[in-house]
């Protein structure tokens, strides 16, 4: 019998998660991550971040997101950016959202637009509009993200 591959572990982990078997899913994501599946790194971080099948541990989640991001996982970049944003570290949040956007994450463009918008009187209006416009036009953006970017653009007097 052939040893399961990292793709096998990852697929089984997602099936277990879909079935509500959270502890089993986490165990399988850990096996997939150990076998080199980069998306599993982000999944382990997500489970730790949200306390799914395990006690919530934000610090450990951030380390898993960092591993995923450094391995090239776009969701890892975005999740790491969210951690920094939520901690108020907008410089690092921008850095990781820019990495996520450069890998095709249209919702990261929305988040970048929001970050520049939140800078108050010192905001860079051109960057706000630029990133929100990119979010609206992005190929890979959630419907809610596209709608939110459009609403923000309209509130700024843009179409």
> 88: left (phi > 0), else alpha (psi -120 to 50), else beta?
left
The answer to the question of residue 82 being in a domain is no
Q: Are 106 and 91 contacting, i.e. CB atoms less than 8 angstroms apart?
A: no
Structural domains in the chain (count): 2
Do 41 and 94 lie in a common domain? no
Q: Tell me, what CATH number does 48's domain have?
A: 1.25.40
* Cβ-proximal residues to 129 (8 Å cutoff; 6+ apart), any chain: 113, 153, 156, 158
Do 159 and 101 lie in a common domain? yes
The answer to the question of residue 83 being in a domain is no
- pLDDT tens for the chain, residues 1 to 159: 778 888 899 999 999 999 999 999 999 999 999 999 999 999 999 999 999 999 999 999 999 999 999 999 999 999 999 999 999 999 999 999 999 999 999 999 999 999 988 876 667 788 999 999 999 999 999 999 999 999 999 998 876
The reported pLDDT for the residue numbered 5 is: 85
Helices and strands in the chain: count of H runs, count of E runs: 9, 0
The reported pLDDT for the residue numbered 159 is: 60
The answer to the question of residue 76 being in a domain is no
The answer to the question of residue 78 being in a domain is no
127 SS3 class: helix
Domain that holds residue 98: 89-159
């Amino acid at each position: 019998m052939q040893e399961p591959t990292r793709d096998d572990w990852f697929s089984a982990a997602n099936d277990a998660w879909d079935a509500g078997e959270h502890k089993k899913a986490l165990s399988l994501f850990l096996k997939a991550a150990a076998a080199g599946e980069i998306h599993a790194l982000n999944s382990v971080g997500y489970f730790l971040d949200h306390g799914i099948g395990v006690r919530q541990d934000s610090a450990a989640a951030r380390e898993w997101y960092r591993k995923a991001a450094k391995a090239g996982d776009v969701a890892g970049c975005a999740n790491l950016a969210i951690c920094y944003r939520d901690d108020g570290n907008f410089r690092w949040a921008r850095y990781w959202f820019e990495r996520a956007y450069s890998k095709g994450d249209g919702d990261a463009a929305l988040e970048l637009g929001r970050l520049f918008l939140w800078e108050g009187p010192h905001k860079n209006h051109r960057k706000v509009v630029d990133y929100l416009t990119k979010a609206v036009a992005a190929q890979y953006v959630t419907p809610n993200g596209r709608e939110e970017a459009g609403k923000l653009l309209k509130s700024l007097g843009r179409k």
